[in-house]
Structure formats: structure tokens, C-alpha cells
Structure 1
């Protein structure tokens, strides 16, 4: 691909940003909804048999015997198969991610005295069962194991599990199993895509039913989550990868181009833009991209070329830096890299992004693997209202209250007034003389 085939969006004369630049590949899931519906129905009806059939049809599993749950022998073999440096890298990343999420963990309970004799607060408890979805279609992702499973363990989820597609040999990626064991997850099930989502939504003979599913996935998995949201909490929207590189006239265009290839290599359904007000940076980036692609493997370079030369990527040149900021906040990217003269000053102008990585030594690679904050981030513009995956996503809050006799005397009157105004007879009676009389009778009975 020549540099002229990279999509170049010159907005210097545009008063508004074309809405088409904000579109994502997952925006219209209608074709996938229609295709995943029969898969979901089959899993709900046939359980394990449907999962095995899907593994053969969609994952290319060819072995005669296929166990849905990864065995202890498979975990042992995974450790033997991996090089020591990979295992050490997993442990290094896990330590940073664990320490970050331990800091996130809320207090088990807090109280506040609202008035004399009146206490109110919250109690945090973990969700009973959560499925961590680890994709595999375009690669192997032990990093996703760390990002989804570690906060589950930190939160104290009683039953965290991992679901992931099997390879043609019917096995789980070795690094995925090693990462699971390192973070304390014992249950790994070989089912991905729509069938995996359905398995944890309904439960099968082997796969346990879960209350929630977290983790990024293909449009097939995202479509299944939408159809099954009445049966399982689908978690934050985490679809195909996307990023924006924001650069001012101080940036190195070749470096910006290097980082533009990071998320665009995930797959042709990704989205990636370099947004700058510098004609020089834009030009240097376009000139540098072919060299970066030449240094990549054929498949990953092909993915990056498809994204940056397609409808969901490229280079955007704006009339000024304020317009570049407007693009970022309008887009609400999953990943945002800031390559500006003063990244911390730029940060104060960013309102919508899943994560913000500041400066030329904080590429998305660092955030994806070893920095510590969670790299499972909202996609498809959801960063406007949704936060990154965190310990909070594995817990729920329950409100707690206690009112003494002294406190009740001050609350009952206003509560009765509001109940009467809203027309709730039982509400009003429950804080009227009826309660006083019943409590008095109880006290007399206790002393007789």
C-alpha cells in the first residue's frame, strides 16, 4: 500500500466534523443479531452438545475427543510449553495490575450519622459468579486474562471463571492458562463467541451459569450480549479496538505513525485515527507508515492497512488544536494517546476517553500490558458515559440504615407527610400512631 492510500481527512476548512468519522464497525449489529440468535437457542436447548458442535463449526476443532473444561494436565502442559521470559512477563504485569486494583477496592462498609440516632451507609459485596471472556480469533490474549480476572479476585467474587475459544487442537492457548493459574482462576472453559456468552447466561451441564460477563469480544459476542442482557449482565461495552493519537506541532510524525499501528493491527474491524493540527506531523506520519508496515508480519500489517485505508481510520488534519480536541471529545475513543508539548495541560481539556496515555513514552502497548490500570475499556463512543473495567464492576452496593427511638421521633413526621401527599396509605400508617402502639405492646410483652 502506498502512502496515498492512507485515508486523509482534511478538515481545515470544515466548520463541523463529519459524523461519518465517528462511526464504528460495531455500530450496526443487525446482521450479527440475526446470525447469533439460532446459536443462542441451540445452547439453551442442547447445552454441552451445542457447545461441542459450535467448537467444530466455528473454531475448527478437529480432535475426536473434546473436553469443554480445561483439565489440570492442560495447566501443567501450558507451563511446560511457555518460555520462562513469557511466564515472568505475565507475573510482572500481574503484580502491577493487582496493586492498582487493590487500591481501587472500596471499603466493605461505611456508616454516616445523618442526625442523632440515625445511621445510613453502604455495604459492598462481590457478585456471586462472573465470567471473564478472553478472545482468541485474531491472536492470543493472556493480557485480557490479567485485566478481567485480577479485579474479580481482588473483589472477592466467589466463582470467577474464564471462557475462551479453543484452538483446532481443542486446547486453550498456553499463556491464557498460565495467566489464569497465576491470578488464581481454576475454572477455564473452552467456548467463545455467541455460544460462550449463551453458555454462561443459561448454564450447561459443564459450564456454570453466571450473573455477569466481562471482557472484549467480536461483534458475534457483542451481539449475543445484547440479546441475552435480560439473562446476564453484559458488563461495559467492549467491542473491536479503537484509538486516537492526538498530536500538536511538537510531535514527531513518525512516532505518531508508529503508535497509530498499535491498535490498528488488532483486526480489520478496529478503528484508529491520528488527529493533529500540524500539516508537518500529518505528512511525516503518512510517509512513515509504509516503513512501519514493512517491519511487521504480513497478517498484522494487513490488518493495519485495512483500518488506516478504510472507513474507520486514517489521518485527520484540523484547522487548529481546539478543533482537534473537539474531535477527540466527540469521538470518545477507547484509547487516547496525547503527544503534545504539555500533556498534563492537554489532559484538562479531555472529557471523553476510556484511557488517556500521556507523553511519547506511554504508548498503548504499555497501557495494554503492564501499566496497571485496566485495559478493558468502553468502545463505540460509550466512553462518554462509561468507565474502564474496575473492581467496582465485580461488586454491588447495598444501602444500609438504622434508626433508634430518638432518631425515629424526628423522621416519622416528615415521612408521614410525604407519604400522605403521594397518596400511599400503608406508607403513612407505618409511621403513625399504629407503629407506636405496636412497639409499646412489644415492650410490655418483653417485660411481663
Structure 2
């Protein structure tokens, strides 16, 4: 029997309950001090530091300062290196992701007549430069390339660059290059980790600085984003993977166990819980896990065992459906599956989840790769205030106001009253009779 942490919610005190809500990156104190010198080295040394860290941290022994950017020849070679079936799956995913995100694109501008002759509205314009972070440490992620690149291209960001850790040979994962080109991004840097965030923030001899960086990453990346938040917009908080598989008593626990392993296999710093009020489902899941683990690669099964037996994973048995809902909302997961023959019966009870995948035919796998909604999601309870990556993350909003001569007197009077009350004399003067001669000239 595989060792799995099992928690009975009604038997936990407040401290133990709170411990279940923590993620691996909740406490970054062990990373902050280590990341500071990396950031400073990139700021002062540029490409030389980036190449050195690539050799040191990523084992890219041949990486040199003049080879940080993927060449056109490397892009071309990637299409020969990747199986046609994989390329077709990437095309399929990009098509669905683009269709979904096209629906999110706002109108360039709207104006509404607030009062007769007075208009107000919004104008949306793309952010001028964004860095897209694609992790690699425990695998290759062309899917993350798709999820970050497509909404950025749909939004019309003119300057996009992908940052991804180099391979031991000093190259870039071929499928990542394929996904980048098919999505519409041709600039890819062989830079990962905290040094990538620093490079995006400060630039280097090769790399142009960006205004914003988006994409998931390790605690090293999260720590660097936090330290550099005054230099570059760090985007939504996207750290190590996490998921809750909610199962009611209408499904087989073996299915819940199968899906519990999806995010648990990402790495030892992932978080994955099965939450159920059904002891039968919990028992069936426990019984099914060994067989499911045996069908995984040992590399991934090792990560899953670590997660499910540790402090950030396992099975949570709740005393009631309401207790399950309450825990899910307190946890605010990145990924949430509602495993039920009637998932809509539960949907209205969930207010805090970044992604909600409903029913037995919608596992996290499909959401991660090809359904269309973005799979770059807020982690570590970020779903309480953030949503999934979207077109809106790549545009900025400007308020527009236009007051005609006929509408001006009423608005000027009301604004002047408030300006006088708040004690701003210049505000008041600007809408007083002092303005009238200027308006009537010419």
C-alpha cells in the first residue's frame, strides 16, 4: 500500500487545519537571500552572468554569453525534431486557446453619454513589452508557451520574448520553439530561474527589458518576482502546481485517484488533495492509487508519492458536503475538479477557485493542454483576488472623458463645490469664472 496522508477534517484543530492551506512557496524566506546576489549579478554583469548561471544552475555546459537567444536556424530545426503528431496537437491546442481568448478581447474604446453632452469611457491599448516565462526544470512545457503566448498575441503586444531555461546542450526544448512560432512569438531566450526575472526587469547586452513578466515558476522565480516588483510588473502569482479533486458520492474513488495524480506528478513542491465527504470514495481512492502509480514513469511517480505522503497532499475526508465546500473556498485552489454526475449542483457553492473543471469528462489534463481557457493560474490562494491569465493581463485601460460646451456649466459647478469643500483652491479656480475668458476667446 502506498503511503498517503489522510486527514479527517473534523478531527483537526485550528492549527492543523491551517497547515493544510499552506503551499510550498508560502514561506519564501529561504529563497529571498539566495536570490538577491543573482539579481545583482545580472543587473551589473548582464549576459556574462546569465551564461554563467545557465552553466551553473541548468548544467548547460556549452552556453556562452553570445548564445543566449535562439536563432532562426534553431527554430527551423525544431520542426524537424518534433514528431508530426506532437506538432498537430500543438496546432490543435493553439487554435482552441486562440478561439477562447479572441472572445476576451475588449473593444478598443467605448464612450457613454453620462449627462447630455458629457461623455466618459475606456480605451484599451496593449502593454508595449511583456516577458513570457516558460519553466523547464522537471519537464518541458510547450503548453505553457501556448498559454502565455496566444493571449499576448491576441492582445497585440508588440514586443514579446519567451524566457526558458537552457538544456544541458545549451539549446531550447524543440516543442517549445515550435509552439512559440505557431503562436506568433519569434524571440526566445535561453535563460531561466531567478536570473530570467532579473534579465526581464533590467535587460542585458542581448535582452531588452520588459514592463511585465507572466508565467509560472519555481519558488526561486516567485522570490525574484517579489523582490523585483518595484522594477517590473510580476503579473499574477503563479508558483508550483496545485489541485483539489472534489468528489461526491456519485463517482468511483478510483477515478478521483487517477485525477489526483495529475498535478502531483509535476514535482515535489506541488500540492494535491482529494476532498470528499464520502468514506467509500476515500477508501476506493486509497485502494486504486498503487495501480495508478505503477502505470506512471518512476520519475513522475516519485514526485507524486512525495506530494501525497507529505505536508501538501493526500486525502481529506470531510464530515459533510458543506465542510468540503468550506475547505475548498478556504484553500482557493489553482485547479479544481468537481467530480460528480451532477457537477452543476456544486458549482454555486464554490467562490474561490482559479479554474473549475466539471464532471468526469473534464480532467485537468484537458484544461492544461487544449480546451481553451488559460492554464496559467494563480497559486498559493491567489485565486481569492486573481483570475487566470487572460487577454486583460496584456492590455492596459485608459479612462476617456469629453465634455462639450453645453454640458460644462453643470459639471463645473458640482466639481467646484467639492473642490472648495476639500480645500483645493486651484481645483476650484480651474472651474470658476476664471476659466470663462479662455473658453470664449477665438
TM-score category, normalised to shorter length: over 0.9
SS at match of 2:337: strand
Pairing partner for 1:8 from 3, 6, 14: 6
> In the TM superposition, what whole-angstrom CA distance separates every residue of 1:333-373 from its partner, at most 9, and x where no partner exists?
00000012410121111100010000001000000000000
SS at match of 1:78: helix
* Partner residue, 1:242: 242
Are residue 22 (structure 1) and residue 21 (structure 2) matched?
yes
Are residue 51 (structure 1) and residue 50 (structure 2) matched?
yes
Structure 2 CA distance, aligned partners of 1:188 and 1:55?
A: 15
> In the TM superposition, what whole-angstrom CA distance separates every residue of 1:227-271 from its partner, at most 9, and x where no partner exists?
000000000000000000001111110000000000000000000
1:413-432 aligned within 5 A: 413-432=413-432
Question: TM-score scaled by structure 2?
Answer: 0.98
Structure 1 CA distance, aligned partners of 2:102 and 2:437?
A: 49
Structure 2 CA distance, aligned partners of 1:215 and 1:347?
A: 27
Are residue 365 (structure 1) and residue 369 (structure 2) matched?
no
Tell me if structure 1 keeps the 8 A contact 2:341–2:360: no
> In the TM superposition, what whole-angstrom CA distance separates every residue of 1:43-87 from its partner, at most 9, and x where no partner exists?
000000110110111010112656000001100110110100000
SS at match of 1:111: strand
Q: How many residues align?
A: 440
1:291-330 aligned within 5 A: 291-330=291-330
Structure 1 CA distance, aligned partners of 2:421 and 2:375?
A: 49
SS at match of 2:371: coil
* Partner residue, 2:170: 170
Structure 2 CA distance, aligned partners of 1:317 and 1:114?
A: 54
Tell me if structure 2 keeps the 8 A contact 1:13–1:319: no
Alignment RMSD: 1.0
* Partner residue, 1:68: 68
* Partner residue, 1:212: 212
Structure 1 CA distance, aligned partners of 2:368 and 2:99?
A: 16
Structure 2: state its 5+ residue gaps: none
1:221-300 aligned within 5 A: 221-300=221-300
Tell me if structure 2 keeps the 8 A contact 1:44–1:202: yes
SS at match of 2:124: strand
1:173-212 aligned within 5 A: 173-212=173-212
1:114-133 aligned within 5 A: 114-133=114-133
SS at match of 2:103: helix
SS at match of 1:136: coil
Question: TM-score scaled by structure 1?
Answer: 0.97
Structure 2 CA distance, aligned partners of 1:116 and 1:110?
A: 17
SS at match of 2:131: strand
Q: CA deviation at 1:13?
A: 4.5
Structure 1: state its 5+ residue gaps: 444-448
Tell me if structure 1 keeps the 8 A contact 2:55–2:63: no
* Partner residue, 2:33: 34
